[in-house]
Every structure is written in C-alpha cells, then in structure tokens.
Amino acid sequence: MKIAIGNDHAAVEMKNALIPYLETKGHTVINFGTDSEESCDYPEYGEKVALAVKEKQADCGVLICGTGVGISLAANKVPGIRAAVCSEPTTARLVKAHNDANIIAFGARIVGLETAKDILDAYLSSEFEGDKNPRHKKRVDMITELEKKYN
C-alpha cells in the first residue's frame, strides 16, 4: 500500500520508528514531515497528508501529533477526508470497517510505540464493509452529504 505520513514536532521520534516498520511490511511510505523537533503548526501537515489522500497520491494516510486530535481536525476540513483518531486497535479496525476512514491518527503523547504499531496493523489489514453491510455505506454517504450541505 502507498501510505502518506505526516506529523508535528511532538511525533518526530514516533514517525521515524514507524516508517521502517511499515516499509518492512512491504508498504511504500511518503513522508510529508515535519522532520524537525522545533515547534511547528500541525494543520500544515494535516493538510499535506489530506491532499495526498484526496488526490490519490496515496491509498491512505497516517497523522500523528501530541494527541492526534489537532492534526486530524485539520485533515477533516479537506473534502472527502475521513480522519479518525484511535488509541487502540479495535477502534482502528472499526473506523476502516464501518466508517471507511481514509486517514488514521493517533497521539505520540497518548499511545506508546508498540500500541501505535498495533493500531496501524489493525487499520491497514481491515476493509470497509460497505458492500456486505449497505447501512455502513449509507452512513458514510450521509457524511459526504453533510460536507456538501455546509460547504
């Protein structure tokens, strides 16, 4: 899979550990930074990864900041993006299966590296269940409609 990854200063160390982890599993990772631990603004990196996913430069995205919240809020402002913050693997599996999340986010100050790996494994090995369960597709379509209604 082609994965776009982005983060703020709080998550450089975690991102640097996760890139080789993903590559070892056969994924191609496009790194949108930041690669510096100097304070920066997470919306910038949320936008970069969101655009890469929206424009299909990547199959999905991974966003990491201190909590995972700020950077996912920013990404979710880009139409077509469904970025979901997870702190454990069950949610990571279900945001793909039920919500068709195209970006997974988590907090480097909230989860440890091993949990982050488990979150990624759960998310990347799951499939959207919209075909099996049309109700999931209907609800995701409703989110898209909301996006159109208020834009």
Q: Is 111 a residue that touches ligand RB5 (CB under 6 A)?
A: no
Among residues 31, 59, 66, 117, which is the contact residue for ligand RB5, using CB under 6 A? 66
Confirm whether 65 is a catalytic residue.
yes
Q: Is 100 a residue that touches ligand RB5 (CB under 6 A)?
A: no
The DSSP secondary structure of 79-95, one letter per residue, reads: TT--EEE-SSHHHHHHH
Q: Is 67 a residue that touches ligand RB5 (CB under 6 A)?
A: yes
* Cβ–Cβ < 8 Å for 99, 82: yes
Among residues 10, 18, 52, 60, which is the contact residue for ligand RB5, using CB under 6 A? 10
Question: How many CB atoms sit inside 10 A of residue 145's CB?
Answer: 10
Which residue's structure tokens are 């499939």? 127
Q: Is 65 a residue that touches ligand RB5 (CB under 6 A)?
A: yes
Length of the chain: 151
Q: Give the Å distances, CA to CA, from 60 to 1, 37, 85, 151.
A: 8, 25, 14, 23
* Cβ–Cβ < 8 Å for 91, 123: no
Confirm whether 98 is a catalytic residue.
yes
Q: Which of 9, 60, 65, 86 is catalytic?
A: 65
Please, what is the minimum distance in Å from the beta carbon of residue 105 to ligand RB5?
A: 10
Please identify, using beta-carbon distances, which residue of 7 and 97 lies nearer to ligand RB5. Answer: 7
Q: Which window, 47-55, 63-71, 117-125, 129-137, contacts ligand RB5 (CB under 6 A)?
A: 63-71
Among residues 30, 51, 69, 140, which is the contact residue for ligand RB5, using CB under 6 A? 69
**What token pair was written down for 53?**
């996913």
Query: Coil, strand, or helix at residue 32?
Result: coil
Catalytic residues: 65, 98
Q: Which spans of this chain sit near ligand RB5 (rule: CB under 6 A)?
A: 8, 10, 42, 65-67, 69-70
